[in-house]
Each structure stands twice: as structure tokens, then as C-alpha cells.
Amino acid sequence: MTTQAPAAPTHLFHWVLTLSCIDGPGIVHAVSGAIVAARGNITESQQFTSLDTGRFFMRLQVESPAGRSELEEALAPVTDRWNMSWHLDEVGRPLRTLVLASTAGHCVNDMLFRQRAGQLPVEIPLVLSNHGTLRDLVDFYGVPFESAAVTSPEAKAAFEARVLEAVDEHDIELVVLARYMQILSPELCAALEGRCINIHHSFLPGFKGANPYRQAHARGVKLIGATAHFVTSDLDEGPIIEQNVVRVDHSRSPAELVAIGQDEESRTLSQAVKWFAERRVLVDGARTIIFR
């Protein structure tokens, strides 16, 4: 809803509010009442009640002259009463994102190009890689790049320590594995839970693990795909955010499947990152809710 024409131009904040709690009657009315109290107009609203977990999820976009503290004050009785998990942010604020990569550049290129074109609301203070291959590409986009080989357990531990240090240093909100070809340690998975997205180059749950295109060729599937999912310590089992497929036929070699699949990987990962940055991805147990 739009505001009534004000006497004098007032700055309008554009807020995005996400929340979840145990479901019960009256939640929508209470939340919308708090927003009215904070002089807000709801411009976008989505809700979902999970029959699996009994939880209620909501995402709102709100225009209001109210700043953060006024809005939080109005919401406090509601979020307290229903014991809500909630997050309040400004629409369009770029999410601080750390990218991990290896040698394949298609996902990194896609993210950086979209970011610069204004289509991906992230800022990327750093790309970390276990290879130097992508330095020139990342340099071109003016993003700092560091690489360190991961060829021993010690080197892996050092690399992961650098990841956590960078997360702290840059106040990172999202870590993206853009075809980073190392398995994260359980400790790192735990530390990044709910804020680390991986792109797997198959249509999960088919073809988990290594060489999915080779597996797909051997099995003779007629569609290949890509899956963006949250990273958990259970390899390739984290909550799925987005998936895409593309048709192939018998004539494609494993190497051709790799090339064909890269388009799906890039766009699937960039889509997942965009939704996450826009606060459209909520986690409901082993599943995600996507408020598109």
C-alpha cells in the first residue's frame, strides 16, 4: 500500500522484515498492527505455515518514515509474545559476501558481472581461492583476491583459518562456494551454518559426491542440472535453495555435459545468492521456504 500524499516530502525507509514462530491465531493481525503503529505501509507480504514443523513464517516489505528504533519498538511486544525469530533490514542493502573459488571461473564471472550491473545486491570484499587461476578475472572487477594452495592437511587448516578470519574482518554475512572444489571441515561447516551456500553440479539428490557429470553420463539421464544449497557437515545434504535442469541426449560426452551444465550452475547459484541477499530464503528444518 502506498502512503497518503504527505504535506511535505518525508524520507521513506524501505524495510524488509522476516520472522518465524510457532503458529497460532492472530499473528498476522498483531504484526500488521505494529506496522500501522509505526506509520508503515505493507508493500509486499508473504506467509507460510509449515505442516512439517508447525512453524509460521512471514516476509514483509514496509515503507515508513519510521527509522529502525521506532519500528523495533513497535514490533517488540509482538515478537516477544510469540517468541519470534526475526530480522529487520533495509531493502536493497548490499550483503557482505565472501566468495571461495578454485579454477573454474563461470560462477565467479557470473556473480561479479551481475553485481556490477546492479542485479545482485551484494558487496564482495574478497575472493579466496586454492588456485591462482582466477586472479585476472577478479582483478578486472576490482575485487581483492588471495590464493593459497590446499595440498596438505596443514594447508587446509590454514586456508580455513583464513576464511574465518576474513569473515570476522569483513563482517561477512554470506559465504559462497562458487565451484570451490574442497570439502569444508565439519568445524567450518558448523561455524558458517545457515550462511554458506554451495553450488553442486548435479540435480540433487541424484549424483552426490565427485564427478557428477561422469555419473550422469554413465546412467544415461536425459536432463542434467545444478543445485544451490546450504552447506552442512552432511555432504550435499543441506537444505536446497534452487535447482535447474537442461535437456541433453545420448550424443553428449562427459566433457560436453560439463560445458552444458555450467550455464545452469551459474544462473542457479546467482539466483540463490540474490534470494538470500533479499531475505527471501528461510530455513524450515531440512527444507527451505523461498518467498519469491
Contact 51, 113 (CB under 8 A): no
Residues in the chain: 292
Kindly name the residue from 136, 236, 249, 263 that is annotated as catalytic. Answer: 236
Q: At its nearest, how many Å lie between a second copy and the CB of residue 96?
A: 22
- Residue 80 CA to residue 39 CA, distance in Å, equals 20
172 versus 225: smaller Cβ distance to a second copy:
225
Binding site for a second copy (CB under 8 A): 1-4, 23-29, 32-33, 35-36, 41-51, 54, 56, 105-106, 109, 113, 117, 119, 136, 140, 203-207, 218-223, 225, 239-245, 249-251, 253, 259, 262-263, 267, 284, 286-290, 292
List the one residue out of 145, 122, 120, 125 whose CA is nearest residue 134.
145
Q: At its nearest, how many Å lie between a second copy and the CB of residue 90?
A: 19
173 versus 264: smaller Cβ distance to a second copy:
264
Q: At its nearest, how many Å lie between a second copy and the CB of residue 247?
A: 8
- Residue 113 CA to residue 246 CA, distance in Å, equals 23
180 versus 230: smaller Cβ distance to a second copy:
230
List the one residue out of 279, 190, 292 whose CA is nearest residue 242.
292
Helix axes 106-116, 254-277, angle to 10 degrees: 40
List the one residue out of 214, 211, 216, 238 whose CA is nearest residue 227.
238
39 versus 170: smaller Cβ distance to a second copy:
39
Q: At its nearest, how many Å lie between a second copy and the CB of residue 276?
A: 14
Q: For this structure, is 236 an active site residue?
A: yes
Cis peptide before 205 (omega within 30 of 0): yes
List the one residue out of 86, 82, 57 whose CA is nearest residue 289.
57
Contact 236, 209 (CB under 8 A): yes
Question: Chain-centre distance of CA 225, in angstroms?
Answer: 19
29 versus 68: smaller Cβ distance to a second copy:
29
Q: At its nearest, how many Å lie between a second copy and the CB of residue 283?
A: 10
257 membership: H or E segment, kind and range:
helix 254-277
List the catalytic residues. Answer: 236
